[in-house]
Structure 1
């Protein structure tokens, strides 16, 4: 199961890296547009264009901060440790599906098994935290049993 945990972690890390690369490219493009917009002398149209680019840059900056938070969460995960209590980095097998408590990435298929990478602040993540094998909880009208924790 350690290999699976490493593969899940690597998938999450790749997800964050790709998102970071996209945002950094966007920021670079906005910066380049701002520089070329500065050379223009079209009056009001020029100012409107600059304002729009500034807003885009602020939005990209906020997205960059979100990605950095995801990186911080991943940095807290030790893929080589396990616990009998569900915590950040746990793989949880339940009666309805398998979860990897890390960051919200969604469905991941590893070695023909499906896992859902979820964050601790999601509704189901909050319900899973602190539970142990054999515990039950209700989610979306389903009674779910925790069958195994890795």
Structure 2
């Protein structure tokens, strides 16, 4: 199951990288297509807006590449440990969490899982916990039933 979740997270990251790359290219083409007009301020404003858009997508691309690097450091085939750590699949009384990247809700084989970063609030609460321990997040109690 961890391998399927890992693949779903990698597909999520690849999609974000592709989307950001395409948007950056489109913004750059838009900036290049701005033609000089008699209203010089309009030309400069259009180029500046396109550059801001390109920069925003460049940041999104950098974030997605960082997420891919985080994923590449995980071994989905690693045996489970006694405590929650990056790469763990945590089965709780109120949902299942894959500690990897912040990809949100993933459906794998019809089952919902939450892919969360170890640095996220819930990921930080779960980290280092073992089976039988309880954590409370947003007034919700989670009993750890298993760590895979």
RMSD: 1.3
Q: Give the whole-Å Cα distance in 2 for the aligned partners of 1:27 and 1:142.
A: 40
4+ residue runs over 4 A deviation: none
TM alignment of 1:1-150, pairs within 5 A: 4-37=1-34, 39-42=35-38, 43-81=40-78, 82-150=80-148
TM-score, scaled relative to structure 1: 0.91
> In the TM superposition, what is the alpha-carbon distance from 1:107 to its structure 2 partner?
1.6
> In the TM superposition, what is the alpha-carbon distance from 1:30 to its structure 2 partner?
1.1
Residues 71-124 of structure 1 deviation map (CA, whole Å, 9 limit, x = unaligned): 111011100102121111100001111110111112222223221111112111
TM-score, scaled relative to structure 2: 0.92
- 8 Å Cα contact 2:99/2:117 also seen in 1: yes
Structure 1: 5+ residue stretches without partners = none
Q: Give the whole-Å Cα distance in 2 for the aligned partners of 1:137 and 1:21.
A: 37
